[in-house]
Structure 1
Amino acid sequence: MKKGTSSGRFIHLSIKFSILLMLFTALRVQAKDINGLTVAQNASENREIRVAGKVTGANDEPLSGVSVREKGTSSGTSTDNNGMYALTVDNNAILQFSYIGYETQEVPVSGQSVINVKLVVATKQMEQVVVIGYGTQNRRNVTGSISTVHAEDFENRPIFSTAQAIQGKAAGVQVTQPSGKPGTDFSVRIRGTSSINANNDPLYVIDGVQTTDTRGLNTNDIETIQILKDAASTAIYGARAAGGVVIITTKRGRSNQSLVSFNTYVGFSKVVNTIDVLNTPQYRELMEEVLGPGTVDPSITTNTNWVDEVFNTGVNQNYQASVSGGSDKAQYFLSMGYLKDKGVVEPARFDRYSVRLNLDNKVKSWLKVNANLNYIRSSFRNTLDNLSSGRGGVILSALNTPPFLNVYKSDGSGQFDPNPFQPSWENPVAYQSRDERSKDNRFLGNLGADISFARFLSYKANFAVDISNTQFDSFIDPFRTSYGRQQNGIGTARRDNLFTWLWENTLNYNQKFGSHNVIALGGISIQEKRLDNAYVEAQDYPSIPGVQTINVANQINNAGTTASESALASFFGRLLYDYNSKYLFTAAFRYDGSSKLAEGNQWQFFPSFSGGWRISSEPFMQGVDFINDLKLRVGWGQTGNQEGLGDYAWRGLFNTTRKPVTNPLSGPAIYRNTIENPDLKWETTTQTNIGLDAAILNHKVNITADAYWKKTKDLLLAIPLPNTVGVGSNVFDRNDGVLENKGFELAISSPIIDRSDLKWNADFNISFNDNEIKELGLNKIYDFATVYSNNQQVIRVTPGQPLGAFYGYISEGVDPATGKLVFRDLNDDKIITPDDRTFIGYALPKFIYGLTTALTYKNFDLNVFFQGVQGNDIFNATRVDLEGMFDSKNQSTVVLNRWKTPGQVTDIPKANDPDNYKNSTRFIENGSYLRLKSLTLAYNFNKDLVQKLHLQKLMLYVTGQNVFTITDYSGFDPEVNAFGSNSKGTEIGVDYGTYPQTRTFIFGLNVDF
């Protein structure tokens, strides 16, 4: 019955479908007949007409290369150099006028023979203005290599530094966080490392204030970050631009738009990876092999997990508030912020208070004045790391301290339990009790005036200061630690005062001549810097709890004051020319003089030239519809470097030191500190850049590609001198060598989906760089990066190699017969000597990359940021202390597989062998990684609810930082450098008990009133 019913329904449906199909076919036939009749009727009415006219831009300038098409057909043409066109079309046709950077217009012909059109600049194109040196430029006319990071790219990410904001966001920019310690400096390298001993950090320009330190800058105040990478972009900063230039523009008030914002978040951090070490029974067995039987009392059952004692949960807090607004004549922006970052390993902590006031005032129609005032107070408590357990390193001490020890003595004295094998090797909690703290008060500000003499001529003045005073204090109490009792307490106090002022004046010319646009700039700059320092070190404190001041100490070990000054004077200029945005040319120069160099070498000229060709504006490209914009860029220029030199680098200086007061008859000792070098001159980097910018598929895919070649000559090197020379610093500054970087960068961005309820954007960048030392003069070999435990330097600098080249022995495993490591005999002399060492790894990566994707669906925002490094090695010096098995240090559980009996096959050698801790490939590891750096999910409350609460915006978000990392590295974290951010290019890629990075989960709130 059911089957028959189903069949009947199917028949009925088939009949209905057939009837509908026939009706549809009949209607189509009728429609064709009617359409054919209409076409026939209109054919008699249509006729062709010749249409001509002129196309101009916003300022009535003629536009050449404008596409003029008859809509719906392939018929079309383009305007000539005078903006004129002519085309034969149907009388009822619609003409489409399209041009890059302008809104497309459609005009019905309707029998007109003359149609003149004035195109309107597209809104998005108008907004794409980039900040360049001493001015701005439309993005589409830029001929240099510039990357831009906007506030919205990081505003929902809880970051505390400018370097974090640009990490993984710009092609050719490598940002490394050398450790997870709160307040740590970042390493920023733009297009590789260009110097050996001089400064490789970029120059930062914050609203006209030039500096090399942005740690105190509140990232919530940032509006945009422009990264100038090639010499054509940076040469206008001359002497300070060899490492690239980062221009930071902070937020400003807007006319008739009052806004109150409050942002806050709280986060919790934990160490992701841990390193397992031996427990007490395992340690006892090892010590019998290393130090002999009975070393550890068998009756001891204490098993302290020092990693658990040291590593805790870190807490991050941030509170930001700002108000902005103004009238047509005056605008203001005021912000205040407090940041607290308490690390996972105490006592590390970073606190920052910041206040910013930006003012803009149009005093007269011809006069504008502005002020940018920023005060930052930061404090930092240090946890000693990047040190062995014998020198105060907390991280290595947590791994190396014998597990049978307790935190405190059992006698109730409050003293830390001493190490019976080496009393000066404190347990990690004892090292944590050391009090090292610093406080910094800093003011950055500038006052500016802009005077318009005419529509095309203006003058701008800028006076800026950077003032800071830093207070550093350290103290080890005279009672709780073994070292403190030996010294009866020891304290250090240092005070640094830095004052820098900058005075700049520029004259600006901007004029259009038909299709020709000329922008010219000329200026002068004067900068002076003075540093004053005072320090004192004392010991022998009274045993009074809480008393740490130097004045109560009974013995002064060392004390002194220093002062130094330096100055830069500069003349600079730039010419920007474009012909109808099709042919572009830029020339810039800077003439710098430095007081750090001797007369005759003080001044240097730094020129640059670049050009651009908008290929897509040529007539032969008008039929290529899938290409919206195509521009070729070529640039060449030179920049300088003298940042790594001392203020009196070329002079021969003397120094004095006072011996301890225990011998009051000993007066000051005078010794030579440096040797003069009147031939010392600028380090110069020459760079060539070829780039291509393309927008395709209706601007759905935007591509920027650059290839560059950088050559640095006259490298500033600190030449080591024999001790017999008797120079205090044992170095001699000299120009000596050539360094080369070659690379390729690719950036792709795409608004994949752009609908009212769903938006999806993706940005990807990848950068390749090849670094090589081409020449060294006086010395051919320099060794750097000493590992304390074996007293060997692991990095060698020599011609033909890149910076960061690891040097040591090639380990070929463990001899099953003897348990000894087998090293390759490179010179085949049947014995292993230092001559058998070679290059065993490279710290610089082959390429770096970043991927950011942002998805918005209704009220939800999802932002995912991946960052990666590929092809670099890490020298894991931590393993020297954890797998060396050469003294009483506790070891990792890896050594449980050590060789013990003849014939045993293993890759871990026997204990207590001096070969175990030689620098070799045994400690070289692959440092490549792919990291989900940030994952943010945000919810924006409905507008109706927000308006009821009298708000403009209400958003909650949760963020995960360092969510996961894909890597083969065995240490705490592959993003590491034991020698810190290190502005020099020599000591990189070494892990030696470095404060580890953490995984952090953060909960935040953003409110706009």
Structure 2
Amino acid sequence: MISKLLSKPIGLVWLVSAPALLTAQVANKKVDGIVKNESGMVLSGVSVKVKDGTATAVTDRFGHYQINAAPTDILIFSYIGMQTSQVPVGNQALVNVTLTSAATQLEDVVVVGYGTMRRADVTSSISSVSAEAIKDLPVAGADQMLQGKVAGVSVSANGGQPGGGISVRVRGLTSINGNEPLYVIDGIIVPTGKSSIAQDKLGGMAGSTSQSGIAGINPNDIEKIDILKDASAQAIYGSRGANGVVLITTKRGKAGEGKVSYDMYYGESKVPTRLDLMNLSQFAQYNNQVLQEISKVTGNPYTPIGEYQRPEVLGEGTNWQDAIFQKGKMQNHQLSFSGGSEKTTYYLGLNYFKQDGTIINSGFDRLSLRFNLDHQIKSWLKVGISSSTARTNQKTTLTNGSDAIVNVAAFNSPAAPIFGLNGDFAPPVSIGGYAFGNPVNPVALAQLRQNTGDQFKAFGSVYGELIFTKFLTMRNEINYDVTNDNNMSFQPSLSSGGTTILAPSKIVEQRNPSYYWALRNYLNYNQSFGQHNINAQIGHEAQASYYDNILASRQNLALNIPSIAAGEQENQVIEGGKGDWAMESYFLRAGYAYDNRYSVNLSLRRDGSSNFGPDRKLGYFPAASVGWTVTNEKFAKNLKVLNYLKVRAGVGAVGSSNVGGASYATNIRLFATGPFGAGGVPDNVGNPALGWESVTTYNGGFDAGFLNGRLDVTFDIYKKITSDMLMATRLPKYTGIGTEWNDIKSPNVNAGRMTNTGFDIGISSTNINKNGFTWKTNLVLSHYKNRLDKLNSDQADLMRYTEYSNAVILTRTVPGGPIGRFYGFISDGLFTSEDDLHNHANQGQAIGSKGLWLGDVKYRDLDGNNVINDGDMTYIGDPNPNFTFGLTNSFKYKGFDLSVFLQGSQGNDILNYTKRSLETPVNVYWNQLQTSLTDRYSELFNTNGTVPRYNQWHQDNKRVSSRFVEDGSYLRIQNITLGYNLPTAWINRIKMQAARIYISGQNIYTFTKYSGYDPELGSYNNDALMQNIDLGNYPNPRTFTIGANITF
């Protein structure tokens, strides 16, 4: 019947026009309802329109709408970040709608360099994280929020210092130089140079005191984060995209009634673990045993210490760990206003964040303001502004090194009190002729030293967009960044009971202002016709940066006043420097898609940098990628299980100019006084041939969807090659350059090469979605393998050492292996017989009780020359993991939501350098781990011990060896959050749109074999060659919070 009707022209006309005729005969009626999200929160600003009609409406602040529609009409509900929903009206007068997240929708918009793109057209490796996925994490910085959320991106804290540095690696290590990604916030490149507290002049290692480069960015303002992981996506950023690009989109207003939101949480934190150190009773027992062992060696009579004759009655003594650790407190308050009309939208966010650290006298606070405005002046002109201003203050304590607070507390004797009888900080205590306790009281050290970093940061952009046609626009932007770092480190002099505890008084102050601007202009073309879609972009960018810093230090401050003016001029240090950097760039991007099946994207950028000489200024960075959506082919239309499959491949080149400004030239260091008066000396040796470091990435992968969108899988495999790596060369010693005789820096050259290979997997699934209950799972898994292929021809290796007295080799990197491997001796246990001593290779000590003896560490003779020396040193551990992973399970039922987030790493080693001193008994006044008592080898007390004997006569047992390398793998319950959305009927009575309360736990429990405080160590000062070395790091805290999200 139908075929006959369609065969006649008049029947075809009737069939096409009948629905319209019927619709015209049906009277419109008022339809209203409420629109909510999956969590039951009402949505304001949702667009409601009649399909193929003219009637429109927008939901108010209570999610309510009203529209005129006929029973035969279909209502379309659309909202940014949510899947569009179409609902037939029928006979309903009340149409309530629940919109679901568009996170897996192919029409989702992905932010790419200098623009956006439909996810369906993406052919490179880009991962996205929504604000919903990170909203309840109680952390100071946005970089911490990425941990375990993105395949191919590893994030680890360099310590638990509030506001402290974070190591972010996109697909492993790219270079021996900087490896942190480029952060772009609303199109604004944000410089993220390390901001370290000024401690170098006071001694101690300041590695993990560095402040996170984006600590001033308020995470509550973030709408979405996109990460460009391969060079085909990064190449549009040219020489600044080598380490990956993190694109942060902040919240903007939406047309509709204004919203007022208040978000807050309060939390408390603590250090979740303690080292098993000896208490006073155990320490007394240890000392009694050690004095008997010394007596046996020296032949002197054993004289027990009177106070220690009955260890069992002495109790705990001073617990120095409890003395320096405290209950940390955290609070966050966010007040935001957003809304607008069809022409003007706005967002204003104010935030205050404060965190007291879990080590005394440490903390971080931030006060920030964000304002975003977009205004359509004319149909052909749109303007806007994005601005952020923040003031941060960080109080830190020395970490990493011999005078790190954590180490000093661990070494201090439990016999030493914190305070003396007069209430002052106690000096070291002498008992039985022995000085018990480290010369510095760790509580005094933490309380009296002031180490602060203040930062003021203002950055933003102003844009104008000309709309020539619906297909062609031109955008002009001006970006700016003004940052002023003021750092101060102060140590007073202190005496107690006639004993000097700290001396002399010292102060170091730094002022580090920097300024950055960029001017960007580009044309955008995007048009679809038939089955074809073409997009293109061409642009120009100019950038410049300037800094001017000064450092001053003095000693012997009058009345211990923390001011440079109070110090003596004698031996003062005044240093400073200024410099600038500029770059001019042209970029081009073009994309073509046919029939939603085949896609190709091309890009090219040319950078010209002032960091290189006239003949090497220019760098060209091309990229190409293709995609094939297999399931849009006719042969794949009837697949039942596989609903979506897209195959991608790409190649691209990016670069790096990560050297000091104008280092191709010889720079001059000026001085005011010298042997012949004022003058200048070379600061470095220039290299006019210095050029770009280049990174080429090959990427292949696929995106797949199964079971009607219930299961999504993303897989990428890659190879990343870094060539012409920038590094300092070594000149012959007869030049005097780069030697102990002067501090003129050696020239930089393009010499090294490095290769990374790996894969990323992302799996998300909707396991259950019925009867108001949903259960979703998200898994990310990453693997990479790193290899240094070559160094400069005159350089055999790269070494890293401890930075305090008696520098010790920690890592060695040579071509053919991964970078940053631990380097030392292989321990073959302890000597347990005299035959073993005499038959073993010579370890440099005469055999005997004051030399090499039973209970000392036995090292393996690798070169077979019967002598243990540097030739027997080898690689004893690898800090690079085999896998990093994150697993999130989310549950929702009616108004409740529960999220459980796990993350960890597998296959990485840790060099526990702190254990080197805590489990190698060498004196009777430093505390030790309990194993130094229970498992110490002793001819008198324990011949089966596995910890070296007490040995005060030589340091052979303390050599860096495999004895201190531990398995650093871990699985951490990183976060559990339980929330409840209050019923709409309750909150509407007090003019609220939505209200949610929640409780959350962070760093809840860690499954690990590592014996230290925390297996998550990051890298020292973000140095790629100093990863996973425990030098007394600030432990990551366990935090519990309670919070609320309220919208009016």
Residue aligning to 1:206? 185
Superposed CA RMSD: 2.7
TM-superposed deviation, 1:124: 7.5
Question: For 1:891-970, what aligned pairs fall within 5 Å after superposition?
Answer: 891-896=928-933, 897-901=935-939, 904-912=943-951, 913-970=954-1011
Does 2:885 match 1:849? yes
Q: Distance in 2 between matches of 1:671 and 1:656?
A: 7
Q: Following TM superposition, by how much is the alpha carbon of 1:944 offset from its aligned partner in structure 2, in angstroms?
A: 0.6
Residues 424-503 of structure 1 mapped to structure 2, 5 A cutoff: 425-432=439-446, 433-480=448-495, 487-503=503-519
Q: If you compute each CA radius of gyration, which structure gives the higher value, 1 or 2?
A: 1
Counterparts of 1:303 and 1:190, CA distance in 2: 47
Once the two structures are superposed, residues 510-551 of structure 1 have per-residue CA deviations (whole angstroms, 9 ceiling, x without a partner) of 12232111101000111100111011101122226xx21111
Distance across 1 between alignment mates of 2:891 and 2:501? 60
Q: Is 1:247 matched with 2:247? A: yes
CA contact (8 A) 2:780 2:886 kept: yes
Partner of 2:287: 284
Cα–Cα, structure 1 residues 665 and 722, in superposed 2: closer, same or farther, change >3 Å? closer
User: 2-side partners of 1:905 and 1:422: how far apart?
Assistant: 29
Partner residue of 1:786 out of 802, 805, 814:
802
1:144 is the counterpart of 2:124: yes
Residue among 306, 323, 332 paired with 1:298 = 306
Q: 1:369 Cα shift?
A: 0.5
Partner of 2:337: 323
Find out whether 1:820 has 2:856 as its counterpart.
Answer: yes
Q: Residues 729 and 335 from structure 1, CA distance in 2 versus in 1: closer, same or farther, beyond 3 angstroms?
A: farther
Residue 778 of structure 2 contacts residue 889 of structure 2 at CA under 8 Å; is this kept in 1? yes
Aligned residue identity for 1:870: Q
Counterpart of 1:499, as a letter, is: Y
What's the counterpart of residue 508 of structure 1?
524
Instruction: Map residues 579-598 of structure 1 onto 2, 5 A cutoff.
Output: 579-598=594-613
Mean CA deviation greater in 889-898 or 842-851: 889-898
5 Å-filtered alignment, 1:254-403, equals 254-278=254-278, 279=280, 280-285=283-288, 288=291, 297-299=305-307, 303-388=317-402, 392-403=403-414
Q: Could you tell me which of 800, 821, 826 is aligned with 1:805?
A: 821
Structure 2 CA distance, aligned partners of 1:296 and 1:382?
A: 42
- Name the SS for the 2:242 alignment partner: coil
2:196 paired residue number:
none
Secondary structure class of the residue paired with 2:973: strand
* Pair 1:424–1:159, CA change in 2 (3 A): closer
Q: Which amino acid aligns with 1:206?
A: I
Contact kept in structure 1, 2:483 and 2:514, CA below 8 Å? yes
CA-to-partner distance for each residue in 1:123-171, whole Å, 9 max, x for gaps?
9747511011111111111000000000000112223211122111110
- Measured in 1, the distance between the counterparts of 2:614 and 2:8 equals 66
SS in structure 2 at match of 1:543: helix
For the 8 Å contact 1:489–1:539, the answer to whether it is kept is yes
Letter in 2 for 1:195: S
**For structure 1, which runs of at least 5 residues remain unmatched after alignment?**
1-44, 54-100, 108-121
Aligned-partner SS, 1:164: helix
Aligned-residue offset at 1:654? 2.8
SS of corresponding position for 1:616:
helix
Residue 522, structure 1, aligned to residue 577, structure 2 = no
Cα gap change, 1:520 to 1:274, in 2 (>3 Å): same
Distance 1:732 1:493, change over 3 A: same
Give distance in 1, aligned partners of 2:351 and 2:303: 56
Matched-pair contact (CA < 8 Å) for 1:284–1:295 = no
Mapping of residues 483-632 of structure 1, within 5 Å: 487-543=503-559, 547-556=561-570, 557-632=572-647
Amino acid at match of 2:655: G
> Partners in 2 of 1:921 and 1:522 — Cα distance?
56
Q: Which residue of 2 aligns with 1:889?
A: 926
8 Å CA contact 1:477, 1:484 repeated in 2: no
| 1:398 partner SS | helix
SS in structure 1 of the partner of residue 956 of structure 2 = helix
Distance apart, 1:787 and its partner CA? 6.7
Q: Which amino acid aligns with 1:377?
A: R
* CA drift at 1:410: 3.6
Q: 1:816: Cα distance to partner?
A: 1.4
Q: Note the C-alpha offset of 1:346.
A: 1.2
Distance in 2 between the 1:751 and 1:447 partners? 41
- In structure 2, how many angstroms separate the alpha carbons of the residues matched to 1:909 and 1:201? 41
Partner of 1:764: 779
Aligned length: 891
**Separation of aligned partners in 1, 2:305 and 2:670:** 52
Give the CA deviation at 1:954.
Answer: 1.2
Which sections of structure 2, spanning at least 5 residues, go unmatched? 10-81, 89-101, 193-212, 309-313, 834-853
Structure-1 separation of matches of 2:681 and 2:426: 42
Deviations 1:231-287 (A, max 9, x none): 110100000000010100000011013111111111111111111222340452366
User: Secondary structure, in 3 states, of the residue corresponding to 1:161?
Assistant: coil
Q: CA 1:423–1:102 in structure 2 vs 1: closer, same or farther (change >3 Å)?
A: closer
CA contact (8 A) 1:770 1:846 kept: yes
| Seq. identity, % | 36
* Aligned residues of 1:790 and 1:918 also touching (Cα < 8 A): no
* 2:753 paired residue among 703, 717, 738: 738
Q: Deviations over 1:368-414 (max 9, x none)?
A: 111011000000111111111xxx31000110012221223445555
1:720 CA drift (Å): 5.0
What displacement does 1:853 show? 1.2
Q: CA deviation at 1:631?
A: 0.7
Amino acid at match of 1:627: L
Match for 1:1003: what amino acid?
I
| Code of the aligned partner of 1:452 | I
* Contact 2:426–2:441 under 8 Å retained in 1: no
Aligned equivalent of 2:236: 236
Alignment of 1:75-86 (within 5 A): none
TM superposition score normalised by structure 1: 0.84
Equivalent residue runs for 1:112-261 within 5 Å: 125=105, 128-196=108-176, 198-211=177-190, 212=192, 213-261=213-261
Shift of 1:823: 1.3
Structure 2 equivalent of residue 879 of structure 1: 915
The answer on whether the counterparts of 1:265 and 1:319 sit within 8 Å (CA) in structure 2 is: yes
Query: Structure 2 CA distance, aligned partners of 1:247 and 1:474?
Result: 34
Residue range with higher mean Cα deviation, 620-629 or 294-303: 294-303
Report if the CA contact (8 A) 2:425-2:444 is conserved.
no
Q: Following the alignment from structure 1 to structure 2, what is the Cα–Cα distance between the partners of residues 290 and 446?
A: 71
Shift in alpha-carbon separation, 1:483–1:740, aligned structure 2, 3 A: farther
Q: Which amino acid aligns with 1:985?
A: A
Counterparts of 1:337 and 1:926, CA distance in 2: 40
Q: Which moved more, 1:721-730 or 1:207-216?
A: 721-730
Match of 2:1033 in 1: 994
SS of equivalent to 2:307: coil
Q: Could you say if the C-alpha distance between residues 422 and 786 of structure 1 is closer, same or farther in structure 2, counting changes exceeding 3 Å?
A: farther
**Compared with structure 1, are the counterparts of its residues 290 and 531 closer, same or farther at alpha carbon in structure 2 (3 Å cutoff)?**
farther
How far apart are the structure 2 equivalents of 1:669 and 1:383? 38
SS in 1 for 2:812: strand
Find the aligned partners of 1:894 and 1:808 in 2 and give their Cα distance: 23
Within a 5 Å distance, the mapping from 1:36-115 to structure 2 comes to: none
- With over 3 angstroms needed to count, the CA separation of the structure-2 counterparts of 1:51 and 1:318, relative to structure 1, is farther
**Cα pair distance change 1:396/1:290, threshold 3 Å:** farther
Alpha-carbon contact 1:476-1:484 (below 8 Å) kept: no
**Cα distance change, pair 124–429 in 1 and its aligned pair in 2 (3 A):** closer
